[in-house]
Structure 1
């Protein structure tokens, strides 16, 4: 399972490099089901893996002129605030055992995985619909961009997911960016969000296995290099429906596994 997990980690970077999102959607299931990491700790690990992988993609997209710093900052600043509030205040107050229904215990870990599965299915529909149409607005609406940034921060803070599937359409519709610039800018936002979130976890004393994190990050980094190179030749928008179906199946699998096994 662990060997398969390392191979699957390449897909994290591949997805980020090709379509600017989706990698974090896969990170949690890989960590929880293939490496048997506790879901709460997996959210911290996910922040590091996705963040460091996104950073490597930022350099490539910067050289290609695909980074829009102003849009990234308007999105990232409120997003970071939401992340810190969720991870360092609210998340810590959620009890391990939430409640019991007919003998079935609803725990924090169960809640994380179920919400994550729902998020995966929402992401899958988003990817499939975006592949069919790409509509842009006129001008940049920075206030709406900031509001969506705060919402994405809540998701990132609670689930350790970068939120690329939300960032991409926000940059397309509210920042009026072409697809390739949206992908590059999305990676910068994901890097900022994930890095701040992981730094907050270190501050509160989350135990970290750096050797394990480094090994997974290297595999994801390899995937990022491959994905970034392929993005110059392949339209990532055309790959989204395929990846969307894959993510949908993964989300359904998580719900079935958590409820019945």
Structure 2
């Protein structure tokens, strides 16, 4: 086993640790680790990422269910358009994208380059949501949960398509939607988002099982390390302030996003 692969497996552990520490964001590292450390094709890497993200989020969702923090009705309302969109994206849209898209002078924009560029853009958007100091909306315990159904359906579909293309959970898009469109308190929004991420990611992965040959042994080892990392992160959360770490991780994502753009342009 090469050193770069050992670092890649260590990266799987780090992804889980970050998820356990700050409750999200770590999954966005999955695709870069798979592409740059294991030389996996970007399209297949996004497929693997859906499985890894889905199972990782499921651990967190089960934990939140035990604490009675998950709003199941909201999860169902949001998840239906999301998982239809993510499954359709993985089953039909991604395979339909041509290998060569267009040419700019001597630079050919291929399917793999376009997916990684879009992924880097999503990474920068996620980093902005982590770095920005956002005032949490005032929570009213007795406020009734209401649903703006048209906007929830649109938001769910958009998040589903983005998840399908880049293989990331999209928590930075889901949580604000649950707070603003379903009037969920922040704690319930975070907990409910994990269930939504889990369901739509795993359903999206089903579209890939029918299109690609999956290396189940590798995927099992990588996912197991990420899951172990989650428990390490949860334990470390007792000693480290996850909120302060979140902003630092946001700046790390900025560096990663710029690195991906640089790498794409220099190839």
Query: Same fold by TM-score, threshold 0.5 exceeded?
Result: yes
CA distance in 2: counterparts of 1:46 and 1:71, whole angstroms: 25
Partner of 1:185: 192
The within-5 A match list for 1:115-134 is 115-129=118-132, 131-134=133-136
In the TM superposition, residue 40 of structure 1 has moved relative to its aligned partner by 0.7
Give the C-alpha shift of residue 59 in structure 1: 1.7
Cα drift, residue 133 of structure 1: 1.8
Structure 1 residues 223 and 173, CA, compared in 2 at 3 Å: closer, same or farther? farther
Matches within 5 A, 1:55-204: 55-129=58-132, 131-135=133-137, 139-143=145-149, 144-204=151-211
- Alpha-carbon displacement from aligned partner over 1:15-70 (angstroms, at most 9, x marks no partner): 33333321221110010011110001101100111111111122222222221111
Determine the structure 2 residue equivalent to 1:37. Answer: 40
The number of equivalent residue pairs is 259
Mean alpha-carbon deviation: is it higher for 25-34 or for 223-232? Answer: 223-232
SS at structure 1 position matched to 2:177: helix
Cα offsets for 1:73-117 (capped at 9, x unmatched): 111110011112222222221111112222211100000001100
| TM-score normalised to structure 2 length | 0.89
Runs of 4+ off more than 6 Å: none
5+ unaligned residues in a row in structure 1: which ranges?
none
Aligned to 1:241: 247
Kept in 2, the 8 Å contact 1:20–1:184? The answer is no
Q: Write out per-residue CA displacement over residues 139-198 of structure 1, whole angstroms, 9 at most, x where no aligned residue.
A: 433423332111100101111111111112222333333333222211111110111011
d(CA) in 2 for partners of 1:235, 1:168: 20
Cα distance in 2 for partners of 1:73, 1:136 equals: 25
Which one has a bigger Cα radius of gyration?
2
Which of 209, 218, 242 is the aligned partner of 2:215? Answer: 209
Cα distance in 1 for residues equivalent to 2:190 and 2:11: 22
Residues 14, 173 of structure 1: alpha-carbon distance in 2 compared, 3 angstrom cutoff: farther
